[in-house]
Structure 1
Amino acid sequence: MVDKGWLSVSVPYVTPGGSDSWKAEAATAGGVGSQRLVEVAEVVAPAEVAAALDIEPGGTVVLRRRLMLLDDRPVELTDSYYPLAIARGTALAEPRKIRGGAVTLLAELGYRPCHTVEDVYAREPTDAERKALALDDHRWVLGLTRLLTSGGGLPVELSVMTMVAEGRRLRYEMSID
């Protein structure tokens, strides 16, 4: 499936009220998408995360780490970070799947995402990423960093994705009012 390629569109992932966007995307490409929740924890934010979420350096965030699978093959590592003031005491901080997804929960909590900024880049994977994604020594990965902000520009989620690059296309669509 990965070798044939598939198209990934960001809109379903940043729109509240959807179903499992990854499962739906994989099905559209003729595959079965699933995910494994690897870790949910309060962690010290890496410098880039703290800056993006506009928190003090060394501040704590909630991390949700997932492994995305396509036809039971690992294709993406996703780390999503949430400000502690938003996530603590909610399902974002619990080690379980969130009904309707994190973006839907954020909207229900009063933090409806209104704007997203995404950066896409290619790089060599780390040894840990190479192992987790079952890549040989000659494969690169695509990275995608997505920052969601709610009304007034409040950062509510930063996701850092590391994807198998082979066969992957990313599409961006936007409406300009």
Structure 2
Amino acid sequence: MYEYINGLITNIYPAYLVIADRSGVGYKLFVANPYRFEQNVESHVYVEQIVRENEMTLYGFIDENEKYLFNKLLNVSGIGPKSALAILASDDAAGLVTAVANDDASYLTQFPGVGKKTAQQIVLDLKGKLDDLALSAGMTVETVPTTDNQSLADALAALESLGYTAKDVAKLQTVLANQKDTTDGYIRSALKFLVK
């Protein structure tokens, strides 16, 4: 229902903060780390409303990527809002994304409330689903080698923008590196290779 709230952060507590909008309503937002916000400062806080049988709760996020990751974590069997916030509190989204991409469940057990079984479930449920987050946040999960061939570089960038993973694009670069072609030609060759 809500996307974000603009307002004055009036109070900061260990588990939540209060933000007052211009109409004078104060919203209680549970956040991963409330001390990343400043009290008595106008802020733009992204929110997610969770409605349960006996409660309606607002969760706040410092940016859209944190909100996106929170929602992805909620889709994991065994992870609820409080566990998702505990994972986000570490402020290591890049580490989380990399661990999922590399099937590193042992890395995930460092988060509070995440045992071996839950860590394996996170990897299983989120594998390949965090690539968009990595790209939009500028994270490097798996580096795509650079190339001096501008046409090939443009083709690889276009393929990433189409939603192909960094892993797929890296494979394509090695396949296409020995060819001389236009950007369009590289894209056509890559798509033929991908649909095999």
Q: Same fold (TM over 0.5)?
A: no
Name the structure with the higher helix share. 2
Decide which structure has the larger Cα Rg and report it. Answer: 2
- For this structure pair, what is the TM-score category when the shorter chain's length is used for normalisation? under 0.3
